[in-house]
Amino acid sequence: MHLRVDLKLQVDTFGNIKTSKTTMEVFLKYKLPEEREEFEICRRAIDLHSNLWDLAEQVRRWRKHGHTFKDADELLDALWEDCIDHDLLNF
């Protein structure tokens, strides 16, 4: 993967940087098919983040409001079956 960052600054007539007008663009470039897995991870990053957020929120709810798990295996089964989007793990 190659990363290129373009930083665009606007300056006033005195050469001062206008921070409110600063923008940054990031470009990721992959060599396919060699870097296919890295590309897929990056392409699905927002969905992976969303699933991880949902998982963290579920754990927070269980800690705050309680749960009915009898042991760690029941908890792990619930996490595996109900909280993980397995489609995101297939590359």
- Listed by start position, the domains of the chain span 1-43, 45-91
Q: What is the DSSP letter of 26?
A: E
Place of tokens 């373009």: 6
- Whole-prediction pTM: 0.63
Please answer whether residues 72 and 44 qualify as being in contact, where contact means their C-beta atoms are separated by less than 8 angstroms: no
Question: Helices marked H in the chain — which ranges?
Answer: 36-43, 45-65, 72-78
Taking only the tens place, the pLDDT of each residue in 52-83 is: 999 999 999 999 999 999 999 999 999 999 88
